[in-house]
Chain A
Amino acid sequence: MNEKTKLATISWSLVLILALLLPVFCNYDKYILHTGISIAFNIALATSMWLIWTLGFVSFAHAGFMGIGAYTSALLFTRLGWPLWVNMWLAAGMAAMIALIISVPLMRTRAVYFFMASWAIGEVIKRIFAYYREFFGGWDGIFDILPPKLSIFGLKIDFASRIAYYYLALVFCTLIVYAIYRINRSRTGMIYWSIHEGETLAQHVGINILKHKVIAFTVACFFAGLTGALYAHYHTYINPKTFDIWQSEFSLVHIIVGGLNTVAGPILGALILTIVDELLRPTGYYRVIFFGIIVILTVLFMPGGLETIPDKVRSLVNRFRNNRKEAPADAVTYHR
Chain B
Amino acid sequence: MSLDTFTQMTLTGVNLGLMYALIAIGLTLIFGIMRIIQYAHGELFMLGAYVLYYWFAVLKWPYWLGIIASAVIIFILGVGLQVLLFRPLHGKNILYSLAVSMGLIFIISSGGLIGFGTVVRGIPSIVTGGVFILGAFFTYERMVISLFSAVLIAALWFFLQRTTLGIAMRAVSEDPEVSSLQGVNTQRIHWIAFGLGSALAAVAGCLMGTLMSIVPTMGFMATMKAFMIVIMGGLGSVVGALIGGFIIGFIDSFLTTIISADVAYIMGFMAIFVILVFKPAGLFGQQWE
A and B form one complex: yes
Footprint of B on A, CB under 8 Å?
Answer: 58, 105-106, 108-113, 115-117, 119-121, 123-124, 127-128, 130-131, 249, 252-253, 256-257, 260, 285-289, 291-296, 299-300, 303
Interface residues of B in 238-289 (CB under 8 A from A): 262-263, 265-266, 269-270, 272-273, 276-277, 280-282, 287-289
CA of A293 to CA of B93 in the docked complex: distance in angstroms?
20
Known: A58-B95, A121-B273. A285 touches B105 (CB 8 A): no
Q: Which of A110, A116, A256 interacts with B95 by CB under 8 Å?
A: A256
CA distance A195 to B236 in the complex (A): 26
Taking Cβ atoms with an 8 Å cutoff, the residues of B that contact A are 37, 85, 88-89, 92-96, 98-100, 102-107, 109-111, 113-114, 224, 227-228, 231, 235, 262-263, 265-266, 269-270, 272-273, 276-277, 280-282, 287-289
B110 CB contact (under 8 Å) in A106, A110, A130, A289: A289
Q: Are A292 and B227 in contact (CB-based, < 8 A)?
A: no
Contact A252 B231 (CB under 8 A): no
Cβ contact within 8 Å between A299 and B272: no
Nearest CB of B to A307, in Å: 15
CB neighbours (8 Å) of A120 from chain B are 228, 269-270, 272-273
Cβ–Cβ contact A289 & B266, under 8 A: no
Main secondary structure of the interface of A (DSSP, over half): helix
Q: Verify A299–B96 contact, CB threshold 8 A.
A: yes
In the complex, what residues of B have CB within 8 A of residue A253's CB?
99, 102-103
A111-B289, A124-B270 as given contacts; A116 in contact with B99, CB under 8 Å: no
Would you call B99 and A299 a contact (CB within 8 A)?
yes
B-side contacts of A106, CB under 8 Å: 277
Contact A295 B288 (CB under 8 A): no
Taking a contact as CB atoms under 8 Å apart, the answer to whether B110 and A303 are in contact is: no
> Which of B89, B235, B262, B282 makes the CB contact (< 8 A) with A299?
B89
Known: A120-B273, A124-B266. A299 touches B100 (CB 8 A): yes
Could you list 30 examples of A-B contacts with CB < 8 Å? A108-B277, A112-B235, A112-B289, A120-B270, A123-B265, A124-B266, A124-B269, A124-B270, A127-B265, A127-B269, A131-B263, A249-B102, A252-B99, A253-B102, A286-B110, A288-B106, A288-B107, A288-B109, A288-B110, A289-B107, A292-B103, A292-B104, A292-B106, A292-B110, A295-B100, A296-B99, A296-B103, A299-B89, A299-B100, A300-B100
